[in-house]
């Protein structure tokens, strides 16, 4: 039995590693349940998949650039992640200076200079097209781009299609996962020696059927998902066919087929759109606050050139208009998000509107450089 135990150990290690992704920059990763609710969300360099086959994953990044009718700079604004991933000093290009835009190694290069991570929010051909547009048309095109990043209703609709089309595969996967768990408990717990010889004999005789059943529950969902891929048209780069083939060869990789089918199926979104689409009220409020706070009380941008600050400023206004409208439409009350926090100590008299830290008399700005505000009812203004 010990060789079976090692086979199972390898199986579960491969299962645990399947879908673990390590990326170079922190990004958002959401594990979403069959009910369309976030069961886990993280902002990290490592993205972990869901454990249960009914769950699927979506990843997205903060928008890495600022756009304006004048030009583009790689200063992110309206970021949800903390700490943000902005550059120490922003690079900036006026549209008329842009001659070529390329992509290499996950980065967008402008005129041969590394510019910003290629997150899919604005792809290289779109940047080049923007550069060649007349300025009035450019502004309209940028607003269209921004609208495209905030579509929670669209995300929910796509999620329903994904779960609908992968219902059978997820159910078959769930049965297989439970069977593997039972098999592992049987082998590792040495159940064979604890039950009557009669029963262990019966189980031994049924082994070919058990393995036949496992083979069915391995191959059938792969075929089902293969057929449903045609209906789940991808909108982003993906390797679903190659991954599905790899899953066919390696059973531990074939237990999250719903998640596999969802790769590339969701458009690049602002993280807030994902939180609004799939989050509970507290989750939506928390991340909605982060985005608004980054728009109203930005940090890190003090060393940027006046042109970079002008572009980021225009973009900040455009994003804020969009975000405020969207939060209202999704029923998140902005006033309650932005109100002063309850006083954490008797001596506290000021707070930072961005990081919500509280201060006693003395500093006028928080360590990040944000101007402090008086706490309600305090004597010191």
Q: Segment 24-63, which members bind Zn ion (CB under 5 A)? A: none
Question: Which of 6-14, 64-72, 96-104, 348-356 is the region at the interface with Zn ion (rule: CB under 5 A)?
Answer: 348-356
User: Could you say which of 34, 276, 295, 366 contacts Zn ion (CB under 5 A)?
Assistant: 366
Q: Are strands 92-94 and 71-73 parallel, antiparallel or unpaired?
A: antiparallel
* Residue 355 lies near Zn ion (rule: CB under 5 A): yes
CB nearer to Zn ion: give 40 or 368.
368
Cα 218 from Cα 272, distance rounded (Å): 36
User: Could you say which of 75, 284, 316, 354 contacts Zn ion (CB under 5 A)?
Assistant: 354
How many Cα atoms are found within 13 Å in the side-chain-facing hemisphere of 3? 0
* Residue 352 lies near Zn ion (rule: CB under 5 A): yes
Question: Which of 24-32, 258-266, 332-340, 365-373 is the region at the interface with Zn ion (rule: CB under 5 A)?
Answer: 365-373
Cα 119 from Cα 237, distance rounded (Å): 11
Least distance from Zn ion to the Cβ atom of residue 368, Å: 4
CB nearer to Zn ion: give 159 or 352.
352
| Torsion, Cα of 190, 194, 199, 202 (10° steps) | 20
3-state SS track over 142-164: HHHHHHHHCCHHHHHHHHHHHHH
Least distance from Zn ion to the Cβ atom of residue 353, Å: 8
* Residue 293 lies near Zn ion (rule: CB under 5 A): no
Question: Which of 122-130, 226-234, 247-255, 362-370 is the region at the interface with Zn ion (rule: CB under 5 A)?
Answer: 362-370
Least distance from Zn ion to the Cβ atom of residue 355, Å: 3
Least distance from Zn ion to the Cβ atom of residue 351, Å: 9
Cα 324 from Cα 354, distance rounded (Å): 17
Count the site residues for Zn ion by CB under 5 A.
6
Contacts from 150-155 at CB under 8 Å and sequence distance 24+?
Answer: 150/269, 150/270, 150/272, 150/273, 150/322, 150/323, 150/326, 151/267, 151/269, 151/273, 152/273, 152/274, 152/276, 152/277, 152/326, 152/330, 153/277, 154/267, 155/266, 155/269, 155/273, 155/274, 155/277, 155/278
* Residue 169 lies near Zn ion (rule: CB under 5 A): no
Question: Which of 70-78, 109-117, 144-152, 368-376 is the region at the interface with Zn ion (rule: CB under 5 A)?
Answer: 368-376
Least distance from Zn ion to the Cβ atom of residue 287, Å: 17
Q: Which residues bind Zn ion (CB under 5 A)?
A: 352, 354-355, 366, 368, 370
């Amino acid at each position: 039995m010990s060789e079976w135990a090692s086979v199972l150990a390898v199986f579960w290690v491969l299962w645990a590693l399947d879908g673990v992704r390590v990326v170079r920059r922190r990004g958002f990763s959401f594990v979403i349940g069959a009910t369309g609710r976030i069961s886990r969300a993280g902002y990290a360099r490592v993205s972990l998949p869901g454990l249960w086959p009914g769950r699927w994953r979506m990843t997205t990044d903060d928008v890495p650039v600022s756009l304006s009718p004048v030009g583009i700079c790689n200063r992110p604004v309206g970021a949800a992640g903390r700490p943000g991933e902005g550059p120490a000093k922003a690079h900036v290009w006026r549209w008329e200076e842009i001659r070529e835009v390329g992509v290499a190694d996950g980065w967008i290069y402008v005129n041969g200079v590394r510019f910003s991570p290629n997150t899919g929010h604005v792809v290289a051909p779109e940047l080049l097209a923007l550069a060649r547009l007349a300025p009035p048309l450019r502004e309209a095109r940028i607003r269209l781009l921004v609208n495209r990043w905030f579509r929670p209703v669209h995300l929910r609709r796509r999620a329903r299609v994904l779960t609908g089309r992968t219902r059978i595969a997820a159910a078959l996967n769930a049965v297989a996962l439970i069977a593997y768990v039972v098999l592992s408990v049987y082998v590792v717990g040495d159940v064979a020696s604890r039950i009557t010889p009669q029963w262990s004999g019966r189980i031994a005789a049924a082994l070919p059927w058990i393995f036949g059943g496992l083979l069915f529950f391995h191959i059938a969902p792969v075929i089902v998902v293969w057929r449903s891929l045609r209906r789940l048209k991808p909108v982003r780069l993906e390797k679903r066919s190659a991954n599905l083939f790899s899953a066919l060869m390696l059973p531990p990789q074939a237990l999250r087929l719903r998640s596999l089918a969802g790769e590339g199926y969701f458009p690049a979104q602002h993280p807030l759109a994902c939180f609004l689409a799939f989050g509970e009220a507290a989750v939506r409020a928390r991340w909605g606050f982060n985005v608004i706070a980054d728009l109203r009380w930005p940090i890190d941008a003090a060393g940027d050139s006046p042109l970079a600050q002008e572009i980021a400023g225009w973009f900040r206004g455009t994003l804020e208009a969009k975000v405020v409208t969207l939060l209202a439409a999704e029923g998140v009350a902005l006033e309650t998000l932005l109100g002063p926090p309850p006083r954490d100590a008797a001596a506290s008299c000021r707070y930072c509107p961005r990081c919500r830290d509280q201060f006693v008399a003395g500093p006028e700005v928080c360590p990040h450089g944000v101007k402090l505000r008086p706490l309600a009812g305090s004597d010191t203004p």
